[in-house]
Protein backbone atom coordinates (compact mmCIF):
# COMPACT_ATOMS: atom_id res chain seq x y z
CA UNK A 1 0.00 0.00 0.00
CA UNK A 2 2.76 2.38 0.81
CA UNK A 3 4.37 1.66 -2.45
CA UNK A 4 1.08 2.23 -4.21
CA UNK A 5 0.41 5.38 -2.23
CA UNK A 6 3.94 6.58 -2.85
CA UNK A 7 3.59 5.82 -6.50
CA UNK A 8 0.22 7.51 -6.71
CA UNK A 9 1.55 10.48 -4.80
CA UNK A 10 4.54 10.70 -7.11
CA UNK A 11 2.31 10.61 -10.15
CA UNK A 12 0.07 13.27 -8.68
CA UNK A 13 3.08 15.41 -7.79
CA UNK A 14 4.46 15.11 -11.31
CA UNK A 15 1.10 15.98 -12.76
CA UNK A 16 0.88 19.04 -10.54
CA UNK A 17 4.42 20.16 -11.31
CA UNK A 18 4.20 19.75 -15.09
CA UNK A 19 2.36 23.08 -15.69
CA UNK A 20 4.71 24.85 -13.28
CA UNK A 21 7.75 23.54 -15.12
CA UNK A 22 6.21 24.50 -18.45
CA UNK A 23 5.64 28.04 -17.20
CA UNK A 24 9.20 28.20 -15.84
CA UNK A 25 10.61 27.02 -19.16
CA UNK A 26 8.47 29.53 -21.04
CA UNK A 27 9.60 32.33 -18.74
CA UNK A 28 13.20 31.25 -19.16
CA UNK A 29 12.83 31.26 -22.94
CA UNK A 30 11.18 34.67 -22.77
CA UNK A 31 14.03 36.03 -20.65
CA UNK A 32 16.56 34.66 -23.10
CA UNK A 33 14.73 36.25 -26.02
CA UNK A 34 14.53 39.56 -24.20
CA UNK A 35 18.24 39.38 -23.42
CA UNK A 36 18.87 39.28 -27.16
CA UNK A 37 16.69 42.30 -27.87
CA UNK A 38 18.20 45.78 -28.23
CA UNK A 39 16.65 49.13 -27.33
CA UNK A 40 18.70 51.93 -28.88
CA UNK A 41 18.21 55.62 -28.22
CA UNK A 42 18.96 57.82 -31.23
CA UNK A 43 19.90 61.45 -30.68
CA UNK A 44 18.56 63.81 -33.35
CA UNK A 45 18.42 67.56 -33.89
CA UNK A 46 15.22 69.40 -32.91
CA UNK A 47 14.30 70.31 -36.49
CA UNK A 48 10.51 70.03 -36.94
CA UNK A 49 9.07 70.36 -40.45
CA UNK A 50 12.36 69.42 -42.11
CA UNK A 51 13.33 66.72 -44.59
CA UNK A 52 15.98 65.67 -42.08
CA UNK A 53 13.29 64.91 -39.48
CA UNK A 54 11.11 63.12 -42.03
CA UNK A 55 13.99 60.76 -42.77
CA UNK A 56 14.94 60.29 -39.12
CA UNK A 57 11.36 59.38 -38.24
CA UNK A 58 11.59 56.41 -40.59
CA UNK A 59 14.53 54.85 -38.76
CA UNK A 60 12.61 53.19 -35.87
CA UNK A 61 10.07 51.62 -38.22
CA UNK A 62 12.76 50.36 -40.58
CA UNK A 63 14.80 48.81 -37.75
CA UNK A 64 11.74 47.09 -36.32
CA UNK A 65 10.70 45.76 -39.73
CA UNK A 66 14.21 44.54 -40.56
CA UNK A 67 14.68 42.71 -37.26
CA UNK A 68 11.17 41.55 -36.46
CA UNK A 69 11.14 43.88 -33.47
CA UNK A 70 14.38 42.57 -31.95
CA UNK A 71 16.13 45.91 -32.39
CA UNK A 72 14.11 48.95 -31.41
CA UNK A 73 15.10 52.60 -31.87
CA UNK A 74 13.71 55.52 -29.88
CA UNK A 75 14.27 59.05 -31.18
CA UNK A 76 15.24 61.81 -28.74
CA UNK A 77 15.80 65.45 -29.72
CA UNK A 78 16.72 66.80 -26.28
CA UNK A 79 19.20 64.30 -24.88
CA UNK A 80 22.31 66.01 -26.33
CA UNK A 81 22.97 69.36 -28.00
CA UNK A 82 23.61 69.66 -31.72
CA UNK A 83 27.37 70.13 -31.44
CA UNK A 84 27.63 67.15 -29.06
CA UNK A 85 25.49 64.78 -31.08
CA UNK A 86 28.51 63.07 -32.64
CA UNK A 87 30.77 62.98 -29.59
CA UNK A 88 27.95 61.39 -27.60
CA UNK A 89 27.90 58.42 -30.00
CA UNK A 90 31.69 58.15 -30.03
CA UNK A 91 31.74 58.02 -26.22
CA UNK A 92 28.82 55.59 -25.99
CA UNK A 93 26.58 58.06 -24.14
CA UNK A 94 24.01 57.67 -26.92
CA UNK A 95 23.97 54.53 -29.10
CA UNK A 96 22.95 56.28 -32.34
CA UNK A 97 22.46 59.70 -33.87
CA UNK A 98 21.38 61.58 -36.95
CA UNK A 99 24.54 63.66 -37.23
CA UNK A 100 25.70 66.47 -39.53
CA UNK A 101 29.07 66.30 -41.27
CA UNK A 102 29.25 70.08 -41.44
CA UNK A 103 29.36 70.41 -37.63
CA UNK A 104 32.72 68.63 -37.80
CA UNK A 105 34.18 70.53 -40.76
CA UNK A 106 36.37 72.78 -38.61
CA UNK A 107 37.86 69.71 -36.93
CA UNK A 108 37.98 67.47 -40.02
CA UNK A 109 37.70 69.48 -43.28
CA UNK A 110 36.84 66.47 -45.45
CA UNK A 111 33.49 66.46 -43.65
CA UNK A 112 32.66 69.81 -45.26
CA UNK A 113 34.17 69.56 -48.73
CA UNK A 114 30.68 69.82 -50.30
CA UNK A 115 30.28 73.34 -48.85
CA UNK A 116 33.26 74.77 -50.75
CA UNK A 117 32.05 77.56 -53.10
CA UNK A 118 31.26 76.37 -56.60
CA UNK A 119 32.35 72.76 -56.06
CA UNK A 120 29.02 70.98 -55.53
CA UNK A 121 26.04 72.76 -57.06
CA UNK A 122 23.11 70.48 -56.27
CA UNK A 123 21.97 67.02 -55.20
CA UNK A 124 22.98 65.24 -58.45
CA UNK A 125 26.59 66.33 -57.92
CA UNK A 126 26.44 65.62 -54.19
CA UNK A 127 25.12 62.10 -54.80
CA UNK A 128 27.70 61.47 -57.51
CA UNK A 129 30.56 62.69 -55.33
CA UNK A 130 29.26 60.53 -52.50
CA UNK A 131 29.10 57.38 -54.59
CA UNK A 132 32.39 57.99 -56.40
CA UNK A 133 34.65 58.19 -53.35
CA UNK A 134 33.67 60.73 -50.71
CA UNK A 135 31.20 58.63 -48.72
CA UNK A 136 33.71 55.79 -48.45
CA UNK A 137 36.35 58.24 -47.25
CA UNK A 138 34.17 59.72 -44.54
CA UNK A 139 32.94 56.26 -43.53
CA UNK A 140 36.55 55.50 -42.56
CA UNK A 141 36.78 58.79 -40.70
CA UNK A 142 33.62 58.04 -38.74
CA UNK A 143 35.11 54.68 -37.71
CA UNK A 144 38.61 55.95 -36.89
CA UNK A 145 37.83 59.28 -35.22
CA UNK A 146 34.33 58.81 -33.84
CA UNK A 147 34.10 55.04 -33.24
CA UNK A 148 30.97 55.01 -35.38
CA UNK A 149 29.47 52.87 -38.13
CA UNK A 150 27.65 54.64 -40.98
CA UNK A 151 24.20 53.23 -41.77
CA UNK A 152 22.82 55.83 -44.21
CA UNK A 153 23.72 59.11 -45.90
CA UNK A 154 21.33 61.87 -46.92
CA UNK A 155 20.92 65.63 -47.01
CA UNK A 156 18.74 68.50 -45.92
CA UNK A 157 16.69 70.24 -48.60
CA UNK A 158 18.57 72.71 -50.81
CA UNK A 159 19.90 75.68 -48.89
CA UNK A 160 18.27 79.08 -49.37
CA UNK A 161 18.95 82.56 -48.02
CA UNK A 162 15.95 83.96 -46.10
CA UNK A 163 16.52 87.70 -45.60
CA UNK A 164 14.63 90.72 -44.33
CA UNK A 165 15.79 92.84 -47.27
CA UNK A 166 16.37 91.58 -50.83
CA UNK A 167 19.87 90.29 -51.52
CA UNK A 168 19.96 90.16 -55.30
CA UNK A 169 23.48 91.33 -56.19
CA UNK A 170 26.97 90.73 -54.88
CA UNK A 171 26.96 94.23 -53.43
CA UNK A 172 23.81 93.51 -51.39
CA UNK A 173 25.77 91.14 -49.14
CA UNK A 174 27.97 93.91 -47.80
CA UNK A 175 27.36 94.58 -44.11
CA UNK A 176 24.59 91.97 -43.75
CA UNK A 177 24.62 89.85 -40.60
CA UNK A 178 23.85 86.35 -41.88
CA UNK A 179 23.49 83.14 -39.92
CA UNK A 180 25.76 80.44 -41.37
CA UNK A 181 26.37 76.86 -40.24
CA UNK A 182 29.72 75.91 -41.76
CA UNK A 183 33.22 77.41 -41.96
CA UNK A 184 33.34 77.39 -45.79
CA UNK A 185 30.30 79.64 -46.16
CA UNK A 186 31.53 81.80 -43.29
CA UNK A 187 34.83 82.41 -45.12
CA UNK A 188 33.00 83.31 -48.34
CA UNK A 189 30.64 85.71 -46.57
CA UNK A 190 33.52 87.45 -44.83
CA UNK A 191 35.30 87.85 -48.16
CA UNK A 192 32.30 89.61 -49.77
CA UNK A 193 31.83 91.95 -46.80
CA UNK A 194 28.99 90.21 -44.96
CA UNK A 195 29.11 89.34 -41.26
CA UNK A 196 28.69 85.59 -40.78
CA UNK A 197 26.95 84.77 -37.50
CA UNK A 198 26.73 81.22 -36.16
CA UNK A 199 23.50 80.54 -34.29
CA UNK A 200 21.69 77.37 -33.16
CA UNK A 201 18.36 76.73 -34.87
CA UNK A 202 16.34 77.61 -31.77
CA UNK A 203 17.73 81.17 -31.69
CA UNK A 204 17.03 82.12 -35.31
CA UNK A 205 13.43 83.45 -35.03
CA UNK A 206 14.13 85.83 -32.10
CA UNK A 207 17.40 86.90 -33.74
CA UNK A 208 15.54 87.82 -36.94
CA UNK A 209 12.82 89.56 -34.97
CA UNK A 210 15.23 91.67 -32.93
CA UNK A 211 17.54 92.46 -35.84
CA UNK A 212 20.46 90.49 -34.39
CA UNK A 213 20.75 88.97 -37.87
CA UNK A 214 19.52 90.19 -41.25
CA UNK A 215 19.10 86.77 -42.78
CA UNK A 216 19.80 83.07 -42.52
CA UNK A 217 21.19 80.37 -44.77
CA UNK A 218 19.12 77.28 -44.05
CA UNK A 219 17.28 74.38 -45.64
CA UNK A 220 14.40 75.40 -47.93
CA UNK A 221 12.13 72.82 -46.31
CA UNK A 222 13.05 73.78 -42.75
CA UNK A 223 12.77 77.52 -43.45
CA UNK A 224 9.36 76.95 -44.99
CA UNK A 225 8.21 74.70 -42.15
CA UNK A 226 9.32 77.25 -39.55
CA UNK A 227 7.73 80.03 -41.61
CA UNK A 228 10.89 82.12 -41.58
CA UNK A 229 9.38 83.93 -44.55
CA UNK A 230 7.07 85.77 -42.16
CA UNK A 231 10.11 87.50 -40.63
CA UNK A 232 12.41 87.30 -43.66
CA UNK A 233 10.16 87.40 -46.75
CA UNK A 234 12.96 87.43 -49.32
CA UNK A 235 13.87 83.82 -50.14
CA UNK A 236 16.82 83.47 -52.48
CA UNK A 237 18.74 80.62 -54.03
CA UNK A 238 22.36 81.75 -54.34
CA UNK A 239 23.76 78.20 -54.71
CA UNK A 240 26.01 78.85 -51.72
CA UNK A 241 26.79 75.51 -50.06
CA UNK A 242 23.53 74.27 -51.57
CA UNK A 243 23.68 70.80 -50.05
CA UNK A 244 24.29 70.01 -46.40
CA UNK A 245 24.52 66.34 -45.61
CA UNK A 246 23.38 64.28 -42.67
CA UNK A 247 24.31 60.73 -41.66
CA UNK A 248 22.83 58.00 -39.48
CA UNK A 249 25.58 56.56 -37.30
CA UNK A 250 25.72 53.95 -34.54
CA UNK A 251 28.39 53.36 -31.92
CA UNK A 252 30.72 50.66 -33.27
CA UNK A 253 30.93 48.67 -30.02
CA UNK A 254 27.15 48.56 -29.67
CA UNK A 255 26.70 47.69 -33.35
CA UNK A 256 29.02 44.69 -33.07
CA UNK A 257 26.92 43.25 -30.22
CA UNK A 258 23.95 42.92 -32.56
CA UNK A 259 23.88 39.48 -34.28
CA UNK A 260 25.31 39.44 -37.80
CA UNK A 261 22.06 38.38 -39.47
CA UNK A 262 20.22 41.32 -37.88
CA UNK A 263 22.99 43.73 -38.90
CA UNK A 264 22.68 42.54 -42.49
CA UNK A 265 18.91 43.08 -42.45
CA UNK A 266 19.31 46.53 -40.92
CA UNK A 267 21.87 47.56 -43.53
CA UNK A 268 19.47 46.55 -46.30
CA UNK A 269 16.70 48.71 -44.84
CA UNK A 270 19.01 51.64 -44.26
CA UNK A 271 20.28 51.44 -47.83
CA UNK A 272 16.68 51.83 -48.93
CA UNK A 273 16.40 54.88 -46.67
CA UNK A 274 19.55 56.35 -48.22
CA UNK A 275 18.25 55.77 -51.75
CA UNK A 276 15.01 57.54 -50.88
CA UNK A 277 16.88 60.44 -49.27
CA UNK A 278 19.16 60.93 -52.28
CA UNK A 279 16.85 60.20 -55.20
CA UNK A 280 13.52 61.61 -53.99
CA UNK A 281 15.23 64.76 -52.78
CA UNK A 282 13.72 67.31 -55.16
CA UNK A 283 10.16 66.15 -54.57
CA UNK A 284 10.53 67.44 -51.00
CA UNK A 285 12.21 70.66 -52.12
CA UNK A 286 9.49 71.36 -54.68
CA UNK A 287 6.78 70.75 -52.09
CA UNK A 288 8.32 73.39 -49.80
CA UNK A 289 8.71 75.88 -52.65
CA UNK A 290 5.09 75.32 -53.69
CA UNK A 291 3.88 75.89 -50.12
CA UNK A 292 5.74 79.18 -49.88
CA UNK A 293 4.25 80.25 -53.20
CA UNK A 294 0.75 79.61 -51.82
CA UNK A 295 1.64 82.07 -49.07
CA UNK A 296 2.79 84.69 -51.55
CA UNK A 297 6.52 83.98 -51.25
CA UNK A 298 8.46 83.38 -54.47
CA UNK A 299 11.83 81.65 -54.45
CA UNK A 300 14.22 83.89 -56.36
CA UNK A 301 17.15 82.19 -58.07
CA UNK A 302 20.29 84.22 -58.67
CA UNK A 303 21.33 84.38 -62.33
CA UNK A 304 24.47 82.41 -63.07
CA UNK A 305 26.33 85.61 -63.92
CA UNK A 306 25.79 86.87 -60.38
CA UNK A 307 26.64 83.48 -58.85
CA UNK A 308 29.89 83.57 -60.83
CA UNK A 309 30.68 86.99 -59.38
CA UNK A 310 30.02 85.73 -55.85
CA UNK A 311 32.18 82.63 -56.26
CA UNK A 312 34.98 84.33 -58.23
CA UNK A 313 38.49 83.48 -57.06
CA UNK A 314 38.96 86.79 -55.26
CA UNK A 315 36.20 85.77 -52.83
CA UNK A 316 36.06 81.99 -52.89
CA UNK A 317 39.79 81.53 -52.39
CA UNK A 318 39.37 82.56 -48.75
CA UNK A 319 37.23 79.44 -48.20
CA UNK A 320 39.63 77.21 -50.13
CA UNK A 321 42.69 78.61 -48.35
CA UNK A 322 41.08 77.93 -44.98
CA UNK A 323 40.23 74.38 -46.14
CA UNK A 324 43.82 73.73 -47.26
CA UNK A 325 45.26 75.05 -43.99
CA UNK A 326 42.98 72.88 -41.89
CA UNK A 327 43.75 69.89 -44.12
CA UNK A 328 47.48 70.36 -43.53
CA UNK A 329 46.87 70.55 -39.78
CA UNK A 330 45.11 67.16 -39.75
CA UNK A 331 47.58 65.52 -42.13
CA UNK A 332 46.22 65.33 -45.68
CA UNK A 333 46.73 67.21 -48.94
CA UNK A 334 43.71 69.50 -49.24
CA UNK A 335 44.51 70.71 -52.74
CA UNK A 336 44.86 67.15 -54.04
CA UNK A 337 41.59 66.23 -52.35
CA UNK A 338 39.70 69.11 -53.97
CA UNK A 339 41.25 68.24 -57.34
CA UNK A 340 40.09 64.63 -56.92
CA UNK A 341 36.55 65.91 -56.29
CA UNK A 342 36.69 68.18 -59.35
CA UNK A 343 37.85 65.32 -61.55
CA UNK A 344 35.08 63.07 -60.22
CA UNK A 345 32.55 65.78 -61.09
CA UNK A 346 34.10 66.53 -64.48
CA UNK A 347 35.15 70.10 -63.53
Domain boundaries of the chain, sorted by first residue: 37-156+243-279, 159-242+286-317
Would you say residue 121 has pLDDT above 80? yes
The pTM is what?
0.86
Nearest residue to 138 via CA among 105, 110, 96, 114? 110
Quick one: CA dihedral 113, 115, 120, 125, positive or negative? positive
Q: What is the pLDDT of residues 269-311, one digit of tens each?
A: 999 999 999 999 999 999 999 999 999 999 999 999 999 999 9
Q: How far apart are CA 217 and CA 160, in angstroms?
A: 6
Tell me which of 3.40.640.10, 3.90.1310.10, 3.20.20.20, 3.40.190.170 is the CATH number of domain 37-156+243-279: 3.40.190.170
Task: Please state whether beta strands 177-180 and 215-219 pair in parallel, antiparallel, or not at all (unpaired).
Answer: parallel
- pLDDT for residue 105: 92
pLDDT one-digit tens code per residue, 154-201: 999 999 999 999 999 999 999 999 999 889 999 999 999 999 998 888
| DSSP labels, 16-84 | HHHHHHHHHHHHHHHHHHHHT-EEEEEE----TTSHHHHHHTTHHHHHHHHHTTSEEEEEESSSS-GGG
pLDDT mean over 195-216:
93
Question: For the chain, what percent of residues have pLDDT higher than 70?
Answer: 90
CB of 242 closer than 8 Å to CB of 216: no
Query: Would you say the CATH fold of 159-242+286-317 matches that of 37-156+243-279?
Result: yes
CATH architecture for residues 159-242+286-317: 3-Layer(aba) Sandwich (3.40)
The confidence band for 36, taking pLDDT boundaries of 50, 70 and 90, is: low
- Identify the band that residue 31 occupies on the pLDDT scale cut at 50, 70 and 90: very low
Amino acid sequence: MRLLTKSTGGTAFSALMAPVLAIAIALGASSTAKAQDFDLTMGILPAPNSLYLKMMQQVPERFERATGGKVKVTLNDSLVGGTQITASVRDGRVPMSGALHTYLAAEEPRMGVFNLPGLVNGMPEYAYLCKSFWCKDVEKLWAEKWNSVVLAEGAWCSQALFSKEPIRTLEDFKGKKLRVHNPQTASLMEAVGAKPTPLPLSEIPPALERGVIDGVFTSTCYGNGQEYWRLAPNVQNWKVGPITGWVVIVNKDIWEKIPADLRTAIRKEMQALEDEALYNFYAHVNEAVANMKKNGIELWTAPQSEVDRLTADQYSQAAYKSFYERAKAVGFDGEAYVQKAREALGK
